[in-house]
Chains A and B, each alone.
Chain A
Amino acid sequence: MEGLLNALNNFLLIGLPYIAIVVFLVGSIHRYRVTKFKFSSLSSQFLEGKKLFWGSVPFHWGMLVLFFGHLSAFLIPRSVLLWNSHPVRLIVIEVSAFIFAIAVLIGLINLFVRRTSNDRIRVVTNKMDIIIEVILILQVITGIWIAYNFRWGSSWFASVLTPYLWSIFKLQPDIAAVSALPWVIRLHIAGAYVIVLLIPFSRLVHFLVPPINYFWRPYQLVYWNWGRKQVRNPGIPWSIKRPKNN
C-alpha cells in the first residue's frame, strides 16, 4: 500500500509534469507550424451571443486573475510573502482570489450548460471541448475547496509549492514536502498538469497566441508580395502597350 502510494506520488508529481511539459512543447510547436489553420479560439458567439456573456466574461477575466496570481507566487514568491506579512493585505488577496475563483466556476457552469443545451452550439462542439470544460470545472472546484479548507494558500503556495515547482524545472525533482500535502492539493496540482498536457490538443491553444502585438502595431497593414521598388529594373524592357491579358 505504502509502495503503491509512493509510486502514485512519483507519477503525479514527477512523471506527469515532465510528460505534460514535453507533450505541451512539442505538440504546440508542431501544431503551430504544421496546422496553423487550426489555431483559433473557435468562438461560438456568432451562433449564440447572450448566454455566452454570462459564461465567457466571468470565466475569462476570473481565469486571467487566477492565472497571474499563481504565476506570481511561482515567479516572485518572496514578494508575495512580503505582501502577505501584513494580515489585512493577506486577507484582501485571499478574498479577492476566492471571489474570482467563484466567478470562474459560475462562468464555466454557464458555458457548460450553454454548450450542452443549445442546438446550434452543440453542432460546433467536439469531444475535446467537453473534456476540457469538465476538467476545468473539477480543477476550479478543487481550487475553491483548497482555498476554503486550507487557508492562506497564497502564503503556503509560495513557501511549499514554489520550491517544488522550481525543482521540477531545475530537473532535480524534490517532492518530499509536496507528497505530505493533503490529497486534494495533490489532485489540484496533477489537474494543472493534465490541462497543460491537453493544450495542444484542444481549443486552449488560443491562450498561446494572445494578440499582444495589437498594442503597438499601426492600425493599417499593407503587404507587398514583391519588393515593388527593386522590381522595376530599367534593364528589363516591359511592354508599354496595353496589357494583353483580357
Chain B
Amino acid sequence: MNVRSQVSMMFHLDKCIGCHTCSIACKNIWTDRKGAEYQWWNNVETKPGTGYPTKWEDQEIYKGGWEKKGRRIDLKGAGKRKGLVNIFHNPNLPVIDDYYEPFTYKYLDLVESPARSDQPTARPISLITGKPIDIKMGPNWDDDLSGTPDFARKDPNLKALSPAEQEAMFQLERMAFFYLPRICNHCLNPACVASCPSGAIYKRGEDGVVLINQEVCRAWRMCVTACPYKKSYYNWHTGKSEKCILCYPRIESGMAPACMHSCVGRIRYLGVVLYDADRIEYAASVDEEDLIQAQLDMILDPNDPKVIKAAKENGIADSTIRAAQDSPTYKFVKEWGLALPLHAEFRTLPMLFYVPPLLPVMASLSEKDQSGQSEKLDPISKFWDDGWLYDTSTEELWGSIDKARFPLEYMASMFGAGDTEIVKDKLKKLMAVRIHRRRVTVGDIDDKKADQVLADVGLTAKMAEDIYYLTSLAKFDDRFVIPAAHREQAIEMLEFTGDERGSSGFGFKEKPARGL
C-alpha cells in the first residue's frame, strides 16, 4: 500500500443553477490575459448540449484520453510514438474555432461617435486580430438550449440512445436539461502529463494538483490533444500551455479555490482523499464495466488504522489525515456512494466527482394527464394537494426512475461509463433521502414506508440526515476541508531557514551611516 493524498472535488449537480459565477471568478483571477481570453478553466455547460469546446466528449474527433489495447492502455491521440511523429503538425489538435474566437466590442465608438441621426453601435471585434468579426460561437453558446438541433441534438452522449428515444427526449413536454460545471479533474492517471514530450506537466505529490511548468513547456501542444476533458489549453500568445491550477496558492493558504468559494448554488465540495498509488495502473486498465468500481476501490478509508499507519509511514501529515477523515468528498463518494466520476471510460481516473442530477429525471413522475393542473394549484401555498407532483409510493417511485423522462442511458453515458445500474443506484439514494426528509418535515409518509425505502438503497436514517445536512445546510467549513500545506516544513526542505533569519520584517535597507 503506497498511500498518497489528493485534494479531490465533488460537485452536486442538483444544486447547480447555471449562473456561471464560478467561471467568472476564475476568469477574473487567472485567464484575463492576452492569449488566454478564450480559456475557461472553469466552464458550465448545458446538458444535453455540445459543450466547450464543441463536442469535446467525442473522442473520435479529438482523440483524447487512454484506450485499452490488449491488457495495457495507451494514449489515444498522443504518446511516445504518435506524439513524436506528429510533433511538427499534430493532426488531432483542436484549433481556436473549436472553442470560439474571443471577442470584445468597440465600446469607445459609443462614446466617441459624432452626432448622427442614428444610434451609434459597438461592433464586435476579434480579440486575436482586432478586426470586426461575426460572432459565431461563445463559451456557453448552448446555454439552456435543450432540444435545439445545433446544440442539444449533437450531444455526443446521445449515441447511447436509439433515434426513437432521442425523439422522445426532445418532445417539448418532456424536455429537460441540467448544468454541468467542469474544471480540470486533477486526474490520478493524467493523460496530459503522459503526453507532454518535454515533461513540463507534473502532478504534485503533496496534494495531487496537476500543473504545467511554464518554463519547461515548449509548445509541443500534445497535452491539448491528450486531455479528454479538453482542460489543457494552448496560449496562442505566449506559446505555452496552461490549465486549471486548482488555485493552489489559495489552497496552500487554506482558502477554497475561487470557483468553489464563489459558487452561488454551493454545489462544490473539496476535501482530501487518501488513495493507494500502487493501484493506479491496475485501476486505469481494467475492463470498461469495472472502471468506476476499480477507481472507487483505490480510495482508502481514512479511519482504518492500517491506512493511517501506512499514510504516516509515507510522510502524510497528521493534519492531512485528519482532513481526510472530515473530507466531504470522501463522504459523498465512498461513505454514501452518491458521486461518480465524469466519463470514467477515458481512463484518466478523474478526481472530480459528480452527484448525478435527480431533478431532470424525476421532474415528471408519470405520464398523467397534465391538463387543468394549473387551476388546481393552491394560489397561496403553491402546492398541489392531490399528490400529483410527488408520487411517493415506492414501487411507482423506483419504476419512475426506470421510465424517467430523461433517459438513464444518457446519464449513464456521462457518469456510469455506460452502466445504467450504477447511475440508477445513485438516483435512488437521492430519492430515498428526499422521502426520508418528507417524512420528517411534512409527515405524510409513514415510518415503515420511509424506512423501507432507505433500507432498499442501503442507507440508514442517520446517514440520510447526514446527507441532507451536507447537501443542504453545510457551512463553508463543512464544504471545504482544506489540509494545511505545512509550508513552514516545506520551506525547510528547500533552504536553511537560519539563512533567512532577520531578513524579513523591519531592518535597515542600507548599512547605517556609522558602518555598524
Q: Footprint of B on A, CB under 8 Å?
A: 36-37, 39-49, 52-53, 56-57, 59-61, 119-120, 122-124, 206, 209, 211, 213-215, 217, 219-232, 238-243, 245-246
* Complex: chain B residue closest to A233, CB-CB: B489
A53–B214 alpha-carbon span in the complex (Å): 26
- Shortest CB distance A106–B (Å): 14
Does B446 touch A at the CB level, under 8 Å? no
A240–B95 alpha-carbon span in the complex (Å): 50
Complex contacts, A37 vs chain B, CB 8 Å? 214-215, 238, 240
Given pairs A239-B319, A243-B483, 5 additional interface contacts (CB within 8 A): A41-B219, A45-B95, A224-B204, A243-B484, A246-B477
Does B88 touch A at the CB level, under 8 Å? yes
19 A-B contact pairs sorted by A residue (CB < 8 Å): A41-B218, A42-B239, A43-B221, A45-B95, A47-B128, A47-B236, A120-B129, A214-B80, A214-B196, A215-B84, A219-B194, A220-B203, A220-B280, A231-B486, A232-B317, A241-B322, A242-B326, A243-B484, A246-B482
Whether B218 pairs with A238 at a CB distance below 8 angstroms is no
The prevalent SS among residues of A at the interface is: loop
Complex contacts, A240 vs chain B, CB 8 Å? 318-319, 322
Q: Count chain B residues whose beta carbon lies closer than 8 angstroms to a beta carbon of A.
A: 75
- Shortest CB distance B266–A (Å): 15
B221: contacting residue among A46, A56, A59, A214, CB under 8 A: A46
Also in contact, A226 and B494, with CB within 8 A (given A47-B96, A206-B218, A243-B483): yes
Whether B84 pairs with A211 at a CB distance below 8 angstroms is yes
Whether A123 pairs with B129 at a CB distance below 8 angstroms is yes
Complex contacts, A230 vs chain B, CB 8 Å? 315, 493
Whether B254 pairs with A246 at a CB distance below 8 angstroms is yes
Whether A225 pairs with B204 at a CB distance below 8 angstroms is yes
B residues 317-356 near A (Cβ < 8 Å) are 317-319, 322-323, 326
- Shortest CB distance A204–B (Å): 13
Whether B322 pairs with A232 at a CB distance below 8 angstroms is no
A221: contacting residue among B94, B202, B214, B237, CB under 8 A: B202
Whether A46 pairs with B218 at a CB distance below 8 angstroms is no
Whether A221 pairs with B476 at a CB distance below 8 angstroms is no
Complex contacts, A214 vs chain B, CB 8 Å? 80, 83-84, 196-199
Complex contacts, B83 vs chain A, CB 8 Å? 214
Whether B129 pairs with A238 at a CB distance below 8 angstroms is no
9 closest cross-chain pairs (CB), A and B: A245-B254, A211-B197, A228-B315, A226-B493, A219-B194, A224-B205, A42-B239, A40-B239, A36-B215
- Shortest CB distance A241–B (Å): 7
A238–B214 alpha-carbon span in the complex (Å): 34
Does B481 touch A at the CB level, under 8 Å? yes
Whether B206 pairs with A220 at a CB distance below 8 angstroms is no
Complex contacts, B93 vs chain A, CB 8 Å? 45-46, 49
* Complex: chain B residue closest to A241, CB-CB: B322
Complex contacts, B459 vs chain A, CB 8 Å? none
B201: contacting residue among A39, A221, A225, A228, CB under 8 A: A221
Also in contact, A243 and B314, with CB within 8 A (given A37-B214, A213-B199): no
A211: contacting residue among B220, B255, B318, B319, CB under 8 A: B220
Whether A52 pairs with B206 at a CB distance below 8 angstroms is no
Whether A39 pairs with B489 at a CB distance below 8 angstroms is no
B residues 175-208 near A (Cβ < 8 Å) are 189-190, 193-194, 196-199, 201-206
